[in-house]
Amino acid sequence: MTRGAARAGLLAFLVALALFLAPAPAHAHAVIVSADPRPGARLAIAPAVVVLQFSEPLNDKLSTASVTDPDGERFAGQASGQEIRVSLPTSALGDYRVEWTTVSTLDGHWSTLPHMSKGPWSR
């Protein structure tokens, strides 16, 4: 075996080893899987609570959600497990806006969707 072939073989082995040992990219995030009421729903009255369900467990200290009523009043929610609940002590007529930021406990990645449900609940 020539010196050049040995170097090429060693280089190929090191590249393969580096690829094998490199951390795999994380493809999972805590993404929303359902919302109650659902985005775009038209209701006779404002919901008492908005429930957002996510695909992964959430970091309850870093994951947040809020609902802003038509008068601009904002209500914050609590994360627990794979959901965030936002209680709404309001019955203002019009559109409600939902915003959230989640951090998965599985991969630590942030997901933010500040415009997902603009105007979902009207009466």
Per residue in 94-106, pLDDT tens?
Answer: 888 888 888 888 8
pLDDT for 91 equals 83
Q: Are 84 and 78 in contact (CB under 8 A)?
A: yes
Q: 8 CB contacts (<8 Å, ≥6 apart)?
A: none
Q: How far apart are CA 67 and CA 83, in angstroms?
A: 15
Cis peptide before 25 (omega within 30 of 0): no
52 burial (CB, 10 Å; 0-12 / 13-18 / 19+) is buried
Angle at 97 between CA 91 and CA 98, to 5 degrees: 110
Residues 36-85 pLDDT 10s:
988 888 888 888 999 999 999 999 999 999 999 889 999 999 899 999 99
What is the reported pLDDT for 65? Answer: 93
Q: Is the pLDDT of residue 23 over 60?
A: no
What are the backbone angles phi and psi of residue 71, rounded to the nearest 5°? -85, 0
Model confidence at 15: pLDDT above 50: no
CB 120 within 8 A of CB 38: yes
In this predicted structure, what is the pLDDT of residue 121? 45
The domains located in the chain, with CATH, are: 32-113 (2.60.40.1220)
pTM of the model: 0.68
Confidence at residue 22, expressed as pLDDT on a 0 to 100 scale: 45
β-bridge partners, 52: 35, 84
pLDDT at 45: 82
